């Protein structure tokens, strides 16, 4: 329970009142700001993880597309090389 002391000082000037309240380990009520802050922080972390995973999968898809295109270019170059060899063989025969 809180103890309240009221002290009044009288003098030549107007009386002054000072109130002191002493709390004896009473739990104070929370406005819920801490819980709200924790929920907002949790949402921000989850959103960050989601965006990072989307970015990673997008980068992976781009890298796979580049690798596939490079493989196709390699296959086409091999076919051109084979065709050139065949043409050279026909020309020499």
- Of residues 42 and 52, the one with the higher pLDDT is 42
Span 74-88, pLDDT tens digits: 888 888 888 888 888
Residue 20 has pLDDT above 80, yes or no: no
Domain ranges, ordered by start, for the chain:
40-93
Please say whether the beta carbons of 15 and 8 come within 8 A: yes
* pLDDT surpassing 70 at residue 46: yes
Tell me: pLDDT of 1 over 60. Answer: no
Tell me, what's the pLDDT at 30? 65
Average pLDDT for the chain: 80
Three-state SS string across the chain, please? CCEEEEEEECCCCCCEEEEEEECCCCCCCCCCHHHHHHHHHHHHHHHHHHHHHHHHHHHHHHHHHHHHHHHHHHHHHHHHHHHHHHHHHHHHC
pTM recorded for the entire structure: 0.39
Which of the four pLDDT bands, split at 50, 70 and 90, describes residue 41? Answer: very high
């Amino acid at each position: 329970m809180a103890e309240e002391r009221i002290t009044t000082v009288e003098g030549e000037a107007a009386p002054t009142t000072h109130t002191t309240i002493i709390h004896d380990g009473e739990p104070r009520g929370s406005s819920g700001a801490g819980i709200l802050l924790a929920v907002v922080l949790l949402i921000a972390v989850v959103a960050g993880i989601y965006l990072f995973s989307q970015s990673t999968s997008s980068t992976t898809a781009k890298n796979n597309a580049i690798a596939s295109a490079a493989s196709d270019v390699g296959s086409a170059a091999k076919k051109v090389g084979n065709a050139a060899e065949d043409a050279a063989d026909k020309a020499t025969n």
